[in-house]
Amino acid sequence: MPEQINHASVTPFEGPYREVLSLLEQARDYAKHRTKRPVPPTSANGSGHLISVEGLRVPCEALRVTTRLSQCLAWLLLQKAIQHGELPPEAALRPENRLDGVVVCEQEGGETDPATPEGLRDLLERSRRIYAQVKRLDAGLDAVHQVRQAPEGNTKRRPRFAPEPPSVSR
């Protein structure tokens, strides 16, 4: 007999949450594989272990993956805490709890640069997509909040992703 799914416990954040965890594991595995490679000496006299500016590009792009995924995970964990009643719903709208890192996370470059290793390009692309998805979810919080704050009888059209506001019985 197939396992019964409790639909009340399935949230719109579960899919992105699992995807972020999976990507974090893949990024960890990539970093472990990548750090086993020796770093060639590149200082001015050829005897030191300084890395060239070009040599910093790959680690910087790897940090971009980590930043995107960390921002997404923090935001999704907050949403889960709210859904489980550990935090009040208003916590989601506090500035310090909103998705952050836009300047770093939305920047593209390594995904399309052929000099970026293929595995890292894949992680960059996938982390950018999940970051964009979570950013849309975060923006949706504003729309839901606006609908819930609208005065009764307001005929203003609801955003397509905003749920029906709860009915108030009198």
Please state the pTM of the whole predicted model: 0.73
Residues in the chain: 170
Q: How far apart are CA 99 and CA 39, in angstroms?
A: 35
Comparing 23 with 165, which gets the higher pLDDT? 23
Percent of the chain predicted with pLDDT > 70 = 69
Taking 50 as the threshold, does the pLDDT of residue 12 lie above it?
Answer: yes
- Assess contact for 20 and 75: CB atoms under 8 A: no
The predicted structure's pLDDT at residue 133: 96
Q: Where are the alpha helices (DSSP H) in the chain?
A: 14-34, 53-83, 102-105, 118-149
Domains assigned to the chain: 14-149 (1.10.8.930)
Query: How do residues 62-97 score in pLDDT, each as one tens digit?
Result: 999 999 999 999 999 999 999 999 999 999 999 999
Mean predicted confidence (pLDDT) in 106-130: 93
The predicted structure's pLDDT at residue 109: 82
